[in-house]
Amino acid sequence: MDSVEGKIIVYYGKGEGKTTASIGHAIRMLGHNKRVVILQFMKGRQTTGEYQFLKSIDNLQMHLCGAPGFLNSNDAESLKAHRKKTEEGLELAYSVLAGKQADLLILDEILYAVKFGLLAEDDVLELLKKRGHTDIILSGREPGARMIEAADIATHLEKVKHYWDKTSSTTSGIEY
């Protein structure tokens, strides 16, 4: 039985798997022939494994809503570029909901955009009120208490161990 109002799911914490869990829900939705839109905030590289794979799947739209490089919060140009892409991403999210373009809208890393002051938490909470029947997933590190309160499901992923702590290196196919 379909719900009257879309569910809000939050994946957060310092552990691996927030994006991966979100994509797992996308796969599940696609298996039911439903439409999925993924907005990746803070991410601007088309070279990630998930972007390369998902960009050509039917019933799925994927949009990068981050500047190409990592955010440098001490650099005015970096902040400006990321803020612009983040604001465009929020506008796109509103458009997706208004046009009923998705059964599932994934706002990957949007909690980071809030943490770094690129978006106001109030703006994200306002967006959630516009979801109608669309399920929404939010991911990132540190949601505010109001974000957890708004969620129907909130899962905290905790890092127990990661080789990054010893090597400061990443592996394609694992982290990106």
Identify which of 107, 124, 127 has the alpha carbon closest to the alpha carbon of residue 12: 107
Average per-residue pLDDT in the chain?
A: 92
C-alpha distances out from residue 122 to 117, 145, 146, 156, Å: 12, 12, 9, 21
For 91, the token pair is 């506008």
Mean pLDDT along residues 130-158? 96
Predicted pLDDT at 104: 98
The label of the residue with tokens 């990068």 reads 64
In the predicted model, is pLDDT for residue 110 greater than 50? yes
Predicted pLDDT at 147: 97
- Please state, in angstroms and rounded to a whole number, the distance separating the CA atoms of residues 90 and 39: 9
CATH fold, domain 8-166, is Rossmann fold (3.40.50)
Mean pLDDT along residues 15-25? 94
- pLDDT tens figures, 70-88: 888 888 898 999 999 999 9
Please give the full DSSP string across 65-118, using - where no structure is assigned. ES-SSPP-TT-HHHHHHHHHHHHHHHHHHHHHHHTT--SEEEEETHHHHHHTTS
Quickly state the pLDDT bin for 1 (edges 50, 70, 90).
Answer: very low
